[in-house]
Structure 1
Amino acid sequence: MPQPPTTPALSLNNINISIAGKEICHDINLTINPGECHILIGPNGSGKSTLLCAIMGIKPFTITSGTILLNGVDITTYGITDRARAGLGLAFQRPIGLEGVSVRRLAHALGATHRLETAAHRLGVDYLIDRDVNTGFSGGELKRWEVAKLELQDPQVCLFDEPESGVDLQQVGVVSTAINHLMSTPTASGKHRAALAITHTGFLLDGVDATAGHLMVDGRIIETANPRDLFERIRRTGYVPTA
Protein backbone atom coordinates (compact mmCIF):
# COMPACT_ATOMS: atom_id res chain seq x y z
CA MET A 1 0.00 0.00 0.00
CA PRO A 2 1.23 3.53 -0.67
CA GLN A 3 2.56 5.34 2.37
CA PRO A 4 0.72 8.46 3.58
CA PRO A 5 2.50 11.71 2.73
CA THR A 6 5.04 12.93 5.26
CA THR A 7 4.29 16.20 7.02
CA PRO A 8 7.38 18.38 6.59
CA ALA A 9 9.27 19.16 9.77
CA LEU A 10 9.82 22.74 8.55
CA SER A 11 8.19 24.63 5.69
CA LEU A 12 9.02 28.19 4.66
CA ASN A 13 6.44 29.57 2.27
CA ASN A 14 7.15 32.80 0.36
CA ILE A 15 9.03 34.28 3.32
CA ASN A 16 10.18 37.91 3.19
CA ILE A 17 12.34 39.28 6.01
CA SER A 18 13.26 42.86 6.86
CA ILE A 19 15.37 44.72 9.41
CA ALA A 20 14.42 48.31 10.31
CA GLY A 21 12.23 48.48 7.23
CA LYS A 22 14.91 47.20 4.83
CA GLU A 23 14.06 43.91 3.14
CA ILE A 24 16.92 41.41 3.43
CA CYS A 25 15.44 38.08 2.33
CA HIS A 26 13.01 37.69 -0.54
CA ASP A 27 10.48 34.98 -1.45
CA ILE A 28 12.15 32.15 0.48
CA ASN A 29 10.59 28.74 -0.12
CA LEU A 30 12.09 25.74 1.61
CA THR A 31 10.78 22.36 2.77
CA ILE A 32 12.72 20.07 5.11
CA ASN A 33 11.31 16.66 5.93
CA PRO A 34 11.98 14.65 9.10
CA GLY A 35 15.39 13.01 8.87
CA GLU A 36 16.79 15.56 6.42
CA CYS A 37 19.72 17.93 6.92
CA HIS A 38 19.88 20.83 4.47
CA ILE A 39 22.93 23.02 3.93
CA LEU A 40 22.77 26.77 3.21
CA ILE A 41 25.71 28.25 1.29
CA GLY A 42 26.35 31.79 0.09
CA PRO A 43 28.65 34.81 0.21
CA ASN A 44 28.94 37.08 3.23
CA GLY A 45 25.96 39.39 3.58
CA SER A 46 23.64 37.23 1.50
CA GLY A 47 21.07 36.87 4.30
CA LYS A 48 21.84 33.36 5.58
CA SER A 49 22.14 34.23 9.28
CA THR A 50 19.20 36.62 8.96
CA LEU A 51 17.09 33.74 7.69
CA LEU A 52 17.99 31.46 10.60
CA CYS A 53 17.41 34.20 13.17
CA ALA A 54 14.02 35.04 11.64
CA ILE A 55 13.00 31.37 11.66
CA MET A 56 13.88 31.29 15.37
CA GLY A 57 11.90 34.48 16.02
CA ILE A 58 14.83 36.65 17.10
CA LYS A 59 14.35 40.42 16.97
CA PRO A 60 14.88 42.77 15.14
CA PHE A 61 14.46 40.34 12.23
CA THR A 62 10.85 40.70 11.05
CA ILE A 63 8.90 38.39 8.77
CA THR A 64 6.86 40.80 6.67
CA SER A 65 5.03 38.17 4.61
CA GLY A 66 4.82 34.43 4.16
CA THR A 67 4.41 31.60 6.65
CA ILE A 68 6.56 29.25 8.72
CA LEU A 69 5.09 25.82 9.41
CA LEU A 70 6.54 23.47 12.02
CA ASN A 71 5.06 19.98 11.62
CA GLY A 72 2.21 21.58 9.71
CA VAL A 73 1.46 24.14 12.43
CA ASP A 74 1.72 27.82 11.51
CA ILE A 75 4.20 29.38 13.97
CA THR A 76 4.74 32.63 12.06
CA THR A 77 3.29 34.76 14.85
CA TYR A 78 4.98 32.83 17.69
CA GLY A 79 7.64 34.52 19.79
CA ILE A 80 11.04 32.95 20.33
CA THR A 81 10.02 31.16 23.54
CA ASP A 82 6.97 29.55 21.98
CA ARG A 83 8.98 28.54 18.92
CA ALA A 84 11.52 26.84 21.17
CA ARG A 85 8.74 25.05 23.03
CA ALA A 86 7.25 23.97 19.70
CA GLY A 87 10.52 22.27 18.74
CA LEU A 88 12.93 24.80 17.19
CA GLY A 89 16.52 25.22 18.36
CA LEU A 90 19.40 27.39 17.14
CA ALA A 91 23.15 26.97 17.60
CA PHE A 92 24.26 30.59 17.38
CA GLN A 93 27.24 31.85 15.39
CA ARG A 94 28.11 34.39 18.10
CA PRO A 95 26.35 33.36 21.33
CA ILE A 96 26.20 35.83 24.18
CA GLY A 97 27.75 35.14 27.57
CA LEU A 98 25.59 34.49 30.63
CA GLU A 99 27.57 35.66 33.62
CA GLY A 100 26.39 34.09 36.85
CA VAL A 101 24.70 31.17 35.06
CA SER A 102 26.80 28.02 34.92
CA VAL A 103 26.46 25.39 32.21
CA ARG A 104 25.24 22.97 34.88
CA ARG A 105 22.60 25.44 36.07
CA LEU A 106 21.38 26.02 32.52
CA ALA A 107 21.09 22.26 31.98
CA HIS A 108 19.02 22.05 35.16
CA ALA A 109 16.75 24.86 33.93
CA LEU A 110 16.25 22.94 30.67
CA GLY A 111 15.37 19.78 32.60
CA ALA A 112 18.35 18.10 30.98
CA THR A 113 20.81 17.51 33.83
CA HIS A 114 20.71 13.78 33.04
CA ARG A 115 22.00 14.47 29.50
CA LEU A 116 24.61 17.08 30.37
CA GLU A 117 27.73 15.03 31.02
CA THR A 118 27.21 12.75 28.01
CA ALA A 119 26.54 15.66 25.64
CA ALA A 120 29.46 17.70 26.99
CA HIS A 121 31.82 14.72 26.75
CA ARG A 122 30.75 14.04 23.16
CA LEU A 123 31.77 17.59 22.21
CA GLY A 124 34.88 17.59 24.40
CA VAL A 125 33.61 20.42 26.61
CA ASP A 126 32.96 18.50 29.83
CA TYR A 127 35.55 20.68 31.60
CA LEU A 128 33.25 23.70 31.00
CA ILE A 129 30.31 22.32 32.98
CA ASP A 130 30.92 24.46 36.06
CA ARG A 131 31.90 27.59 34.10
CA ASP A 132 29.49 30.42 33.32
CA VAL A 133 27.78 29.89 29.97
CA ASN A 134 29.82 31.28 27.04
CA THR A 135 31.92 33.40 29.41
CA GLY A 136 35.62 33.30 28.57
CA PHE A 137 35.10 30.44 26.11
CA SER A 138 37.40 30.28 23.08
CA GLY A 139 35.86 30.40 19.60
CA GLY A 140 36.05 26.63 19.27
CA GLU A 141 34.61 26.09 22.75
CA LEU A 142 31.68 28.37 21.94
CA LYS A 143 30.80 26.39 18.81
CA ARG A 144 31.15 22.99 20.46
CA TRP A 145 29.07 24.07 23.45
CA GLU A 146 26.34 25.43 21.16
CA VAL A 147 25.95 21.98 19.57
CA ALA A 148 25.95 20.34 23.01
CA LYS A 149 23.30 22.86 24.09
CA LEU A 150 20.98 21.68 21.31
CA GLU A 151 21.31 18.13 22.58
CA LEU A 152 20.11 19.39 25.97
CA GLN A 153 17.25 21.42 24.47
CA ASP A 154 16.04 18.42 22.42
CA PRO A 155 14.51 20.34 19.47
CA GLN A 156 13.00 18.55 16.51
CA VAL A 157 14.30 21.14 14.03
CA CYS A 158 17.92 22.18 14.59
CA LEU A 159 19.35 25.36 13.07
CA PHE A 160 23.14 25.67 12.90
CA ASP A 161 24.78 29.02 12.09
CA GLU A 162 28.28 28.16 10.83
CA PRO A 163 29.00 25.49 13.46
CA GLU A 164 32.50 24.84 12.08
CA SER A 165 33.75 28.46 11.92
CA GLY A 166 36.48 29.20 14.46
CA VAL A 167 36.98 25.47 15.04
CA ASP A 168 40.25 23.74 14.13
CA LEU A 169 40.16 20.92 11.58
CA GLN A 170 40.33 18.17 14.20
CA GLN A 171 37.42 19.64 16.14
CA VAL A 172 35.36 20.05 12.94
CA GLY A 173 35.20 16.26 12.92
CA VAL A 174 34.02 16.29 16.54
CA VAL A 175 31.29 18.81 15.72
CA SER A 176 30.21 16.88 12.60
CA THR A 177 30.02 13.60 14.51
CA ALA A 178 27.93 15.25 17.23
CA ILE A 179 25.54 16.73 14.65
CA ASN A 180 25.13 13.32 13.03
CA HIS A 181 24.47 11.77 16.44
CA LEU A 182 21.85 14.42 17.22
CA MET A 183 20.18 13.90 13.85
CA SER A 184 20.10 10.11 14.23
CA THR A 185 18.58 10.26 17.72
CA PRO A 186 14.81 10.86 17.92
CA THR A 187 13.48 13.53 20.24
CA ALA A 188 12.19 12.57 23.67
CA SER A 189 8.71 12.50 22.10
CA GLY A 190 9.88 10.09 19.39
CA LYS A 191 10.03 12.51 16.44
CA HIS A 192 12.73 12.34 13.79
CA ARG A 193 14.82 15.49 13.68
CA ALA A 194 15.52 17.82 10.76
CA ALA A 195 18.22 20.45 10.34
CA LEU A 196 19.27 23.53 8.39
CA ALA A 197 22.96 24.44 8.65
CA ILE A 198 24.99 27.33 7.26
CA THR A 199 28.54 26.64 6.09
CA HIS A 200 31.14 28.90 4.48
CA THR A 201 34.07 26.52 4.33
CA GLY A 202 32.27 23.36 3.28
CA PHE A 203 34.28 21.39 5.85
CA LEU A 204 30.98 20.42 7.47
CA LEU A 205 30.15 18.36 4.38
CA ASP A 206 33.10 16.06 5.08
CA GLY A 207 31.30 14.64 8.09
CA VAL A 208 27.64 15.64 8.13
CA ASP A 209 25.10 13.53 6.25
CA ALA A 210 23.56 16.39 4.29
CA THR A 211 20.50 15.82 2.11
CA ALA A 212 20.30 19.00 0.01
CA GLY A 213 22.25 22.19 -0.56
CA HIS A 214 20.85 25.67 -1.23
CA LEU A 215 22.76 28.64 -2.63
CA MET A 216 21.66 32.02 -1.27
CA VAL A 217 22.72 35.24 -3.02
CA ASP A 218 21.36 38.74 -2.34
CA GLY A 219 18.66 37.40 -0.03
CA ARG A 220 17.30 34.82 -2.45
CA ILE A 221 17.74 31.06 -2.78
CA ILE A 222 18.82 30.81 -6.40
CA GLU A 223 19.96 27.20 -6.70
CA THR A 224 19.27 23.86 -5.01
CA ALA A 225 21.31 20.73 -5.64
CA ASN A 226 23.21 17.88 -4.07
CA PRO A 227 25.21 19.73 -1.37
CA ARG A 228 28.62 18.34 -2.34
CA ASP A 229 28.02 18.90 -6.05
CA LEU A 230 26.87 22.45 -5.32
CA PHE A 231 29.93 23.26 -3.23
CA GLU A 232 32.29 21.84 -5.84
CA ARG A 233 30.56 23.89 -8.54
CA ILE A 234 30.96 27.04 -6.41
CA ARG A 235 34.66 26.27 -5.94
CA ARG A 236 35.08 26.07 -9.71
CA THR A 237 32.90 28.93 -10.94
CA GLY A 238 32.03 31.04 -7.89
CA TYR A 239 28.59 32.08 -6.71
CA VAL A 240 27.10 32.00 -10.20
CA PRO A 241 24.53 29.31 -10.99
CA THR A 242 25.04 27.10 -14.00
CA ALA A 243 23.04 27.93 -17.08
Structure 2
Amino acid sequence: MLEIRNLTVAIDDVEVLADIDLTLPEGELHVLLGPNGSGKSSLLATILGLPPYRIVAGEILFDGAPIQSLPLEARARLGIGLAYQRPPSLEGVTLRSFAAAIGAEDRLETEAAALDLTAFLGRDMNVGFSGGEIKRWEVLKLVLQDPRLLLFDEPESGVDLEHVIAVGEAIAHAVRSPDREGRTCSGLVITHTGLILNHVKADRAHIMKDGRILHSGDPQALFAHIQTDGYSVPA
Protein backbone atom coordinates (compact mmCIF):
# COMPACT_ATOMS: atom_id res chain seq x y z
CA MET A 1 0.00 0.00 0.00
CA LEU A 2 2.78 2.43 0.97
CA GLU A 3 6.28 2.42 -0.46
CA ILE A 4 8.90 5.05 0.39
CA ARG A 5 12.03 5.10 -1.73
CA ASN A 6 15.25 6.98 -0.94
CA LEU A 7 13.30 9.79 0.74
CA THR A 8 15.22 12.87 1.89
CA VAL A 9 13.27 15.73 3.50
CA ALA A 10 14.23 19.20 4.71
CA ILE A 11 12.73 22.12 6.60
CA ASP A 12 14.15 25.22 4.94
CA ASP A 13 17.80 24.17 4.49
CA VAL A 14 17.94 21.74 7.41
CA GLU A 15 17.75 18.04 6.50
CA VAL A 16 15.42 16.13 8.85
CA LEU A 17 15.09 12.79 6.99
CA ALA A 18 17.73 11.07 4.89
CA ASP A 19 17.52 8.13 2.48
CA ILE A 20 14.38 6.61 4.01
CA ASP A 21 13.25 3.29 2.55
CA LEU A 22 10.08 1.72 3.96
CA THR A 23 7.47 -0.67 2.59
CA LEU A 24 4.09 -1.17 4.27
CA PRO A 25 2.04 -3.94 2.62
CA GLU A 26 -1.75 -4.06 2.65
CA GLY A 27 -3.19 -5.40 5.88
CA GLU A 28 -0.06 -4.87 7.96
CA LEU A 29 0.59 -2.76 11.04
CA HIS A 30 4.10 -1.38 11.52
CA VAL A 31 5.60 0.60 14.41
CA LEU A 32 8.30 3.27 14.44
CA LEU A 33 10.64 3.27 17.42
CA GLY A 34 13.22 5.97 18.13
CA PRO A 35 14.38 8.70 20.51
CA ASN A 36 12.90 12.19 20.59
CA GLY A 37 13.90 14.23 17.56
CA SER A 38 14.76 11.20 15.45
CA GLY A 39 12.39 12.12 12.60
CA LYS A 40 9.43 9.85 13.29
CA SER A 41 6.79 12.59 13.39
CA SER A 42 8.46 14.28 10.42
CA LEU A 43 8.05 11.09 8.41
CA LEU A 44 4.31 10.84 9.13
CA ALA A 45 3.84 14.52 8.34
CA THR A 46 5.69 14.11 5.05
CA ILE A 47 3.54 11.13 4.06
CA LEU A 48 0.41 13.24 4.57
CA GLY A 49 1.94 16.33 2.93
CA LEU A 50 2.00 18.73 5.86
CA PRO A 51 4.06 21.93 5.72
CA PRO A 52 6.85 22.94 6.24
CA TYR A 53 8.35 19.61 5.14
CA ARG A 54 9.96 19.73 1.68
CA ILE A 55 10.96 16.59 -0.23
CA VAL A 56 14.50 16.99 -1.52
CA ALA A 57 14.85 13.56 -3.12
CA GLY A 58 13.04 10.24 -3.41
CA GLU A 59 9.38 9.37 -3.75
CA ILE A 60 6.32 8.19 -1.86
CA LEU A 61 4.04 5.65 -3.56
CA PHE A 62 0.48 4.92 -2.44
CA ASP A 63 -1.17 1.99 -4.19
CA GLY A 64 1.72 2.08 -6.64
CA ALA A 65 1.24 5.72 -7.70
CA PRO A 66 3.54 8.61 -6.65
CA ILE A 67 1.87 11.11 -4.32
CA GLN A 68 4.74 13.42 -3.31
CA SER A 69 3.50 16.19 -5.62
CA LEU A 70 -0.12 15.99 -4.40
CA PRO A 71 -1.49 18.54 -1.89
CA LEU A 72 -2.58 17.43 1.55
CA GLU A 73 -6.29 17.36 0.74
CA ALA A 74 -5.73 15.11 -2.29
CA ARG A 75 -3.79 12.63 -0.16
CA ALA A 76 -6.58 12.65 2.43
CA ARG A 77 -9.15 11.88 -0.27
CA LEU A 78 -7.04 8.93 -1.40
CA GLY A 79 -7.47 7.50 2.11
CA ILE A 80 -4.50 8.67 4.17
CA GLY A 81 -5.26 9.90 7.70
CA LEU A 82 -3.22 11.01 10.70
CA ALA A 83 -3.90 11.03 14.46
CA TYR A 84 -1.77 13.97 15.55
CA GLN A 85 0.58 14.08 18.50
CA ARG A 86 -0.44 17.64 19.43
CA PRO A 87 -3.76 18.54 17.77
CA PRO A 88 -5.28 22.01 18.17
CA SER A 89 -8.28 22.93 20.30
CA LEU A 90 -11.32 23.96 18.24
CA GLU A 91 -13.76 26.12 20.14
CA GLY A 92 -17.29 25.98 18.74
CA VAL A 93 -16.78 22.58 17.06
CA THR A 94 -18.19 19.76 19.16
CA LEU A 95 -17.23 16.14 18.72
CA ARG A 96 -20.79 15.43 17.62
CA SER A 97 -20.81 18.23 15.02
CA PHE A 98 -17.45 17.07 13.67
CA ALA A 99 -18.81 13.56 13.19
CA ALA A 100 -21.87 14.99 11.42
CA ALA A 101 -19.67 17.07 9.11
CA ILE A 102 -17.82 13.97 7.89
CA GLY A 103 -20.91 11.79 7.68
CA ALA A 104 -20.04 9.51 10.57
CA GLU A 105 -23.01 10.12 12.90
CA ASP A 106 -24.16 6.52 12.55
CA ARG A 107 -20.90 5.20 14.00
CA LEU A 108 -20.17 7.87 16.58
CA GLU A 109 -21.92 6.43 19.63
CA THR A 110 -20.48 2.93 19.23
CA GLU A 111 -16.93 4.05 18.49
CA ALA A 112 -16.98 6.68 21.27
CA ALA A 113 -18.16 4.11 23.82
CA ALA A 114 -15.24 1.84 22.96
CA LEU A 115 -12.84 4.65 23.91
CA ASP A 116 -14.85 5.81 26.95
CA LEU A 117 -15.68 9.14 25.30
CA THR A 118 -19.49 9.08 25.31
CA ALA A 119 -19.64 11.89 27.87
CA PHE A 120 -17.49 14.11 25.63
CA LEU A 121 -19.67 14.18 22.51
CA GLY A 122 -21.25 17.55 23.29
CA ARG A 123 -17.94 19.21 24.17
CA ASP A 124 -15.75 21.33 21.92
CA MET A 125 -12.86 19.42 20.35
CA ASN A 126 -9.90 19.21 22.76
CA VAL A 127 -11.06 22.26 24.76
CA GLY A 128 -10.28 21.52 28.40
CA PHE A 129 -9.32 17.91 27.60
CA SER A 130 -6.47 16.24 29.49
CA GLY A 131 -3.51 14.93 27.51
CA GLY A 132 -4.84 11.37 27.62
CA GLU A 133 -8.34 12.48 26.61
CA ILE A 134 -6.92 14.33 23.61
CA LYS A 135 -5.05 11.20 22.50
CA ARG A 136 -8.18 9.06 22.80
CA TRP A 137 -10.15 11.60 20.78
CA GLU A 138 -7.48 11.63 18.07
CA VAL A 139 -7.82 7.86 17.73
CA LEU A 140 -11.61 8.19 17.59
CA LYS A 141 -11.37 11.00 15.03
CA LEU A 142 -9.23 8.85 12.74
CA VAL A 143 -11.52 5.83 13.15
CA LEU A 144 -14.50 8.00 12.16
CA GLN A 145 -12.66 9.31 9.09
CA ASP A 146 -12.24 5.71 7.93
CA PRO A 147 -8.94 6.03 5.99
CA ARG A 148 -7.17 3.10 4.37
CA LEU A 149 -3.73 4.15 5.64
CA LEU A 150 -3.91 5.04 9.33
CA LEU A 151 -0.99 7.00 10.80
CA PHE A 152 -0.78 7.32 14.60
CA ASP A 153 1.70 9.66 16.30
CA GLU A 154 2.30 8.37 19.86
CA PRO A 155 -1.34 7.36 20.48
CA GLU A 156 -0.65 5.94 23.96
CA SER A 157 1.52 8.81 25.24
CA GLY A 158 -0.12 10.40 28.30
CA VAL A 159 -2.94 7.84 28.35
CA ASP A 160 -3.58 6.06 31.65
CA LEU A 161 -3.00 2.31 31.73
CA GLU A 162 -6.70 1.42 31.73
CA HIS A 163 -7.36 3.42 28.58
CA VAL A 164 -4.19 2.25 26.79
CA ILE A 165 -6.00 -1.07 26.40
CA ALA A 166 -8.97 0.68 24.75
CA VAL A 167 -6.67 2.70 22.49
CA GLY A 168 -4.78 -0.42 21.42
CA GLU A 169 -7.96 -2.35 20.74
CA ALA A 170 -9.40 0.54 18.69
CA ILE A 171 -6.23 0.80 16.61
CA ALA A 172 -6.04 -2.95 16.04
CA HIS A 173 -9.69 -3.13 14.99
CA ALA A 174 -9.39 -0.13 12.63
CA VAL A 175 -6.29 -1.44 10.90
CA ARG A 176 -7.38 -5.08 10.68
CA SER A 177 -10.91 -4.33 9.43
CA PRO A 178 -11.81 -3.28 5.86
CA ASP A 179 -12.91 0.30 5.25
CA ARG A 180 -16.49 1.15 4.29
CA GLU A 181 -15.75 0.26 0.67
CA GLY A 182 -14.44 -3.16 1.69
CA ARG A 183 -10.79 -2.31 1.01
CA THR A 184 -7.90 -3.63 3.13
CA CYS A 185 -6.31 -1.11 5.51
CA SER A 186 -2.78 -0.66 6.88
CA GLY A 187 -1.31 1.22 9.83
CA LEU A 188 1.89 2.93 10.93
CA VAL A 189 2.28 3.76 14.64
CA ILE A 190 4.90 5.83 16.45
CA THR A 191 5.49 4.60 20.00
CA HIS A 192 7.92 5.66 22.72
CA THR A 193 6.63 3.61 25.63
CA GLY A 194 6.05 0.40 23.70
CA LEU A 195 2.87 -0.19 25.71
CA ILE A 196 0.81 -0.26 22.54
CA LEU A 197 2.66 -3.43 21.51
CA ASN A 198 0.83 -5.29 24.26
CA HIS A 199 -2.52 -4.54 22.65
CA VAL A 200 -1.89 -4.60 18.90
CA LYS A 201 -0.25 -7.37 16.90
CA ALA A 202 2.35 -5.40 14.99
CA ASP A 203 3.85 -7.11 11.95
CA ARG A 204 7.13 -5.19 11.78
CA ALA A 205 9.07 -2.51 13.62
CA HIS A 206 11.58 0.08 12.42
CA ILE A 207 14.23 1.84 14.51
CA MET A 208 14.74 5.50 13.53
CA LYS A 209 17.60 7.69 14.69
CA ASP A 210 19.04 10.94 13.34
CA GLY A 211 16.54 10.99 10.48
CA ARG A 212 17.37 7.53 9.20
CA ILE A 213 15.89 4.04 9.53
CA LEU A 214 18.68 1.99 11.07
CA HIS A 215 17.06 -1.42 11.29
CA SER A 216 13.77 -3.27 10.76
CA GLY A 217 12.58 -6.50 12.31
CA ASP A 218 10.29 -8.25 14.79
CA PRO A 219 8.52 -5.64 16.98
CA GLN A 220 8.79 -7.44 20.32
CA ALA A 221 12.42 -8.42 19.74
CA LEU A 222 13.41 -4.89 18.73
CA PHE A 223 11.63 -3.33 21.70
CA ALA A 224 13.35 -5.77 24.06
CA HIS A 225 16.68 -4.84 22.46
CA ILE A 226 15.98 -1.11 22.94
CA GLN A 227 15.18 -1.63 26.62
CA THR A 228 18.61 -3.15 27.23
CA ASP A 229 20.86 -1.60 24.56
CA GLY A 230 19.11 1.61 23.50
CA TYR A 231 18.36 2.68 19.95
CA SER A 232 21.13 0.75 18.28
CA VAL A 233 21.34 -1.85 15.56
CA PRO A 234 21.05 -5.37 17.02
CA ALA A 235 24.10 -7.56 16.53
Judge same fold: TM > 0.5, yes or no.
yes
Please list every run of 5 or more consecutive structure 2 residues that lacks an aligned counterpart in the other structure.
none
Q: Which structure 2 residues correspond to residues 120-159 of structure 1 after superposition, within 5 A?
A: 120-159=112-151
Per-residue deviation, 1:241: 1.0
Q: Distance in 1 between matches of 2:219 and 2:107?
A: 31
Q: Of residues 14, 29, 32 in structure 2, which corresponds to 1:22? A: 14
Q: Of residues 168, 190, 202 in structure 2, which corresponds to 1:176? A: 168
- 1:110 match: 102
Q: Distance in 2 between matches of 1:67 and 1:108?
A: 35
Q: How many residues align?
A: 235
Q: Percent identity?
A: 49
Q: Distance in 2 between matches of 1:195 and 1:48?
A: 14
SS in 1 for 2:234: coil
Q: Specify the code of the residue in structure 1 equivalent to 2:219.
A: P
Q: Distance in 2 between matches of 1:70 and 1:113?
A: 29
Q: Distance in 1 between matches of 2:121 and 2:70?
A: 31
Q: Which structure 2 residues correspond to residues 17-56 of structure 1 after superposition, within 5 A?
A: 17-56=9-48
Please list every run of 5 or more consecutive structure 1 residues that lacks an aligned counterpart in the other structure.
1-8
Q: TM-score, normalised by structure 1?
A: 0.94
Q: Which structure 2 residues correspond to residues 183-198 of structure 1 after superposition, within 5 A?
A: 183-198=175-190
SS in 1 for 2:93: strand
Encode CA deviations 1:103-162: one digit per residue, 9 max, x unaligned.
111111111111111111111111111111111111111111111111110100000000
Q: Of residues 77, 80, 88 in structure 1, which corresponds to 2:80? A: 88
SS in 2 for 1:83: helix
Q: Distance in 1 between matches of 2:66 and 2:108?
A: 32
Q: Distance in 2 between matches of 1:214 and 1:174?
A: 24
Match status 1:226 vs 2:218 = yes
- 1:73 match: 65
Q: Could you say what the CA RMSD is over the residues aligned between the two structures, in angstroms?
A: 0.9
Encode CA deviations 1:67-114: one digit per residue, 9 max, x unaligned.
111111211111111111101000001111111111111111111111
Q: Of residues 6, 10, 16 in structure 1, which corresponds to 2:2? A: 10
SS in 2 for 1:114: helix
Encode CA deviations 1:37-72: one digit per residue, 9 max, x unaligned.
000000111111111111111111122221111111
Q: Specify the code of the residue in structure 2 equivalent to 1:210.
A: A
Q: Distance in 2 between matches of 1:225 and 1:184?
A: 20
- Runs of 4+ in structure 1 deviating by more than 3 angstroms, as ranges, are none
